[in-house]
Amino acid sequence: MISDLRLQQFRSYQDASFEFSQGVNIIVGPNGSGKTNLLEALLVLAVGRSYRVGDAELLSFGAEWCRLDADIHGSNATRTVKIKTIPKQSKTYDINGKQYFRLTQPHLLPVVLFEPNHLQLLHGAPELRRNYLDDLLELTMPGFISFRKNYRRLLSQRNALLKRPRLPSTQELFPWNLRLSELGATIARARAELISQLAESLPALYKDLSQTETALSIEYHPKFPIESYESHMLAKLESHVVEDAQRGFTAYGPHREDFMVYFANNPAAETASRGETRTALLALKILELQQLEQVRGQTPLLLLDDVFSELDGARRQALTTYVQRYQTFITTTDADLVIQHFTEAANIIPIQKAIT
């Protein structure tokens, strides 16, 4: 748990300090006041990078350096992130007085982020959903980072071969086809298993958050049978060399697959309202928390940017109640809502304007 944070020359903050509770912290203020910047600082502190911009843009306008300092309650740890642009750009991390130039897995603070662009997950391109699964698997499955990286490398190499003026023979492509099939099966099975785990808890969790009886489900749609994925994918790659060469890319494998969320057996992309979409995404984020907590043995942080929009009162209350056991940071512009409903259940952090 982050008990306090000081920001120096970070975004809109010249020098500001905040104290946090171990439960729900609601950051309230008008647009442009720095709410999301504070949320972003917490993410940089946890994982070393922003979800919005590169390191140089985290510095206040005209500044040559920025710094974040925090105390971690429960482990008596201190954590500092320093970013400089002069004489050259650099970033260092100080954890309990020891300096690091990059954060490896043991030094990351587990964190789950929701921000408005995530609403595209259910309605947007399949690549968004594939990346969602693979990003979570990188954090929860040992070795998946390597599987994903190697698959992408081999896929790029095979696609380059397909684009050559002379059509490569099946024999020439066999080493790529074989290894792609092996790695593709590993990735597809990992995704299918993750979706299976999510599917066990998602329906009940959605009902709790939505305060409705709407049936929500989630399914992975592989191109080949999971139990014999390697052989089916290999056969498809070998029998479609001409077609792939005409397209200029490999058309089969986990890089072309998708998962779907359904409301009462209807695709969410076709039937879900914005409120339903937001609630479904929040349910998935809570399941991410549980996955990370199980793997890391450490309670993650939960960062929710502009989460109350399009949620009715019952869903807001249900969400706030559900995340009490996690250290949660929620941004909102609705001061009246916070005063009426959350002053006793949460730590309120008012921000009137950008702090300079």
> E-assigned strands of 130-225?
216-221
What is the pLDDT, as a whole number, of residue 356?
47
**Residue 216 near residue 280, CB atoms below 8 Å:** yes
User: Which tokens sit at 204?
Assistant: 């009940």
User: Which tokens sit at 324?
Assistant: 């009490």
Distances (CA, A) of 181 to 47, 154, 163, 178, 238: 33, 10, 20, 5, 11
**Contacts of 277 by beta carbon, 8 Å cutoff, 6+ apart:** 119, 122, 123, 268
User: Which tokens sit at 226?
Assistant: 């999971």
| Per-residue DSSP letter, 260 | E
What is the pLDDT, as a whole number, of residue 341?
75
Nearest to 307 by CA among 285, 288, 292: 285
Per-position pLDDT tens, the chain of length 356 = 899 999 999 999 999 999 999 999 999 999 999 999 999 999 999 999 999 999 999 999 999 999 999 999 766 789 999 999 998 999 999 999 899 999 888 889 999 999 999 999 999 999 999 999 999 999 999 999 999 999 999 999 999 999 999 998 888 999 999 999 999 999 999 999 999 999 999 999 999 999 999 999 999 999 999 999 999 999 999 999 999 999 999 999 999 999 999 999 999 989 999 889 999 999 999 999 999 999 988 899 999 999 888 888 888 888 988 898 899 999 999 888 887 778 777 899 999 765 44
What is the pLDDT, as a whole number, of residue 207?
95
Q: Which amino acid belongs to residue 89?
A: Q
Instruction: Strand 111-114: give its sheet, edge to edge.
Output: 111-114, 301-304, 327-332, 24-28, 347-350
Nearest to 160 by CA among 233, 232, 244, 224: 244
What is the pLDDT, as a whole number, of residue 21?
94
The pTM (predicted TM-score) of the whole model is 0.91
What is the pLDDT, as a whole number, of residue 353?
67
Q: Which domains does the chain have, with CATH numbers?
A: 2-110+299-350 (3.40.50.300), 119-271 (1.20.1050.90)
**Residue 329 near residue 301, CB atoms below 8 Å:** yes
